[in-house]
Structure 1
Amino acid sequence: MYELSFNGTIFKADIDNARAILGGICWSQGLHTVKRVVYYAGPPQPHPKGLPKLEHVTQMPPPPNNQQRPRPHPAWSALSKELARSSYFLRLAYNVSPEKDFDTEAEVDLNTVAGTLQWFDFPDPPKGQPFTQRRKMEIPGQGNLPMVMADNKYEFDKELIEETWSFVKDEDFEIAFTRHFALPERDVEPRTQLGRLPPWADLVPLDPAEKWLVTIKSFAWEENNPEEVKKAASQILEEKAFFDRLFTFEAVDRRDLDTRVPPPGRMM
């Protein structure tokens, strides 16, 4: 899949008004999600290895009344081919609830809960277009993701909390407001994710100015179909002309979105 996007920012004080406006445009209250995002770094360059070991991959929840272990989702094979060409940082994303999953007594083993494996490619060269265009893959509903990362020599890098309000317009167009919160690091070696999340009220935004990222996106679901990519490009340009009246979008240096290297503060 190709994701085409423009990015901007708005201040915290403006987020409620922005959501209200988007609610009217999209006839929706928007979807509010909070995700725990864990980053893993691939084997050091120049020796990428893909994902050859998938014996611990599980589907969650498992298929009902199925005595035979299900085979890994086909996307695992396609992703492994990409990761065999170059080493990347991957995201493991888990839905969490501010009311239920923060400041709890019990530790959480992320191998036992369903997560989404996310890969974002290095953006395509501009070629005259003003938007960011890059390939992405997502494999949802997967268990044992940290175990699979360890099996394939991927190393824990960092984790954070990602809060998003998203609105869908015309099925293949999305507007999202996103902010990120830092999480404390464990003072252990080797470094790994937290067992317990701190209180939601104690989280500190990564942006000192407490701005939200505004992103508008269109999608080409068949990345090898030139007509679908062209349609997505036409859509993102048309929608940007409309949303320019509401937000200020800024050019993004594609090197800042290079998921093969770990520049400070990059959220992929």
Structure 2
Amino acid sequence: MYELSCNATMFKADIDNARAILGGICWSQGLHTFKRLVYYAGPPQPHQKGLPNLEHVTQIPPPPNNQPSRPHPAWNALSDELTRSSYVLCLAYNVSPEKDFGSEADVDLNTVPGTLQWFDFPDPLKGQPFTQRRKLEIPGQGNLPMVMADNKYEFDKELIEETWSFVKKDEKEIPTKGDFEIAFTRYFKLPETDVEPSTQVVRLPAWSDLAPLDPAENWWVSIRSFAWEEKKPEEVKKAASQILEEKTNFDRFFKFEPVDRKDLDTRVPPPSRTM
């Protein structure tokens, strides 16, 4: 699919007012989520083509009636993309500040469901105020760190993401997955250690020990529309029209700025290439 977005920043002190405004616009209190984001970098080119080893891919929960677990069809689509270039992939896991942070129990991310995320290098702006890039997600996957290791992907970094998201629905239509989304997001770093980790941590620290990625603790504001059928030009055009219309509505609340596409480059450079 294609994700089209306009982005801005918002002061920490404005989050409650912003949530109240969006709650009125969307008739919703918003969805408050926390995610553990673990990034893995693919081997620099030249490297093996795609994802040749999917032996350990599993589905969580498992298929009903003891049916064999087969890789989601999107794995093949992702593998095709990775034959062209090596990328940093993201493993996203839902977490709870009350239950998962500061726990004394070790966590094996191979045993819990995660979502594999891939973002392509954004398209050129071409005079448009929004960022447009291809995105692929494979939810409900087990053994993701194992699959990364099987395919020579190396641990890169880990962040915690906190998000308030709101969905704006068209009252004239039946709600669909193409609804327009507004999200407020901020990121946290794990405490630094004296030893460089070779993989993700097995225990998350207490929530109070996390450090904001942005020292000012500003929130990242994103308004997004989606073209779910990326091979249909009319779907991409519809998503572009939608985000331009909504940007006009939200311009009075936020100052949207174009994002340098190079700042969103998830490609892994070959050894001879400098970013």
Q: Normalised by the size of structure 2, how large is the TM-score?
A: 0.92
Provide the rounded CA distance (Å) in 1 between the counterparts of 2:96 and 2:40: 23
2:59 corresponds to which residue? Answer: 59
Q: How many residues align?
A: 261
Check if 1:197 corresponds to 2:196: no
Q: Distance in 2 between matches of 1:124 and 1:226?
A: 14
The residue number in structure 1 matching 2:185 is 178
Question: Does residue 237 of structure 1 match 2:264?
Answer: no
Distance 1:174 1:190 in 2: 35
CA distance in 2, matches of 1:94, 1:127: 35
In 2, distance between residues paired with 1:14 and 1:194?
Answer: 33
Assess if the C-alpha contact under 8 Å between 1:54 and 1:72 holds in 2.
yes
By how many angstroms is 1:47 displaced? Answer: 2.9
Deviation at 1:201, TM superposition (A): 1.7
Q: In 2, are the aligned partners of 1:185 and 1:194 still within 8 Å (CA)?
A: no
Name the counterpart of 1:32: 32
Residue ranges of structure 1 left out of the alignment (5+ in a row): 263-268
1:127 deviation in Å?
2.1
1:8-157 alignment runs, 5 A limit: 8-47=8-47, 49-66=49-66, 68-157=67-156
Change (3 A) 1:192 1:33: same
Seen in structure 2, the aligned counterparts of structure 1 residues 190 and 243 have a Cα distance that, compared at 3 Å, is closer
Q: How many Å separate the matches in 2 of 1:160 and 1:198?
A: 12
Equivalent-residue separation in structure 2 for 1:150 and 1:232 (angstroms): 36
126-135 or 240-249: bigger deviation? 126-135
Q: Distance in 2 between matches of 1:60 and 1:89?
A: 23
Distance in 2 separating the partners of 1:189 and 1:204: 18
Kindly, what percent of the aligned residue pairs are identical?
83
| Aligned 1:148-167 pairs, distance under 5 A | 148-167=147-166
1:46 Cα offset (Å): 3.7
Unaligned runs of 5+ in 2: 170-177, 270-275
Alpha-carbon distance between aligned partners in 2 of 1:230 and 1:65, rounded to the nearest angstrom = 42
